[in-house]
């Protein structure tokens, strides 16, 4: 994992450099880009009594100042061009327990583990870009 300040996002590949975002032939691309709220990560860290960098969660984007909708089908516009559609909750995996005992459980309530999205419109995103919830 690496932390970067900008990235290209595409319909077929998700975030450039992240093989998990590639849309498989015939696939729906339901997990191209993952987002997590900074406040949710902070609450989970408080619960487990640890300070672990957010990117260890392996989410693609850390969101601040926005309560991510917990509804499939909601669209998020990022920056000038990128549009993502929420497809489902990102379930915390067993790797979270390796990072800190109890972390998986701390990320389970209220979509704290984040949201999975598919790319509807690609483009460039950067740290500080505004994220807007679009009406469907």
Q: 6-134, what's its fold?
A: M1 Pyruvate Kinase; Domain 3 (2.40.33)
Token pair for 125: 């995103």
The domain ranges of the chain are 6-134
Rounded average pLDDT over 1-23: 89
Strand order of the β-sheet with 61-63 is 61-63, 33-37, 115-121, 82-89, 75-78, 131-134
pLDDT for residue 136 is more than 70:
no
pTM for the structure as a whole = 0.92
What strands lie across the sheet with 123-126, from one edge to the other? 14-15, 6-10, 123-126
pLDDT in tens, 45-91: 999 999 999 989 989 999 999 999 999 999 999 999 999 999 999 99
């Amino acid at each position: 994992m690496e932390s970067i300040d900008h990235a290209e996002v595409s319909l077929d590949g998700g975030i450039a450099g992240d093989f998990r975002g590639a849309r498989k032939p015939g696939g729906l691309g339901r997990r191209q880009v993952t987002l997590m709220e900074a406040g949710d990560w902070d609450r989970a860290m408080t619960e487990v009594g640890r300070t672990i960098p957010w990117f260890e969660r392996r989410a693609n984007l850390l969101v601040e100042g926005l309560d991510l909708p917990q509804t499939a089908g909601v669209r998020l516009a990022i920056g000038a061009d990128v549009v993502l559609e929420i497809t489902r909750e990102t379930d915390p995996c067993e790797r979270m327990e390796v990072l800190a005992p109890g972390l998986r459980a701390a990320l389970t309530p209220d979509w704290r583990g984040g949201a999975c999205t598919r790319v509807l419109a690609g483009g460039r995103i950067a740290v500080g870009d505004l994220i807007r919830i679009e009406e469907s």
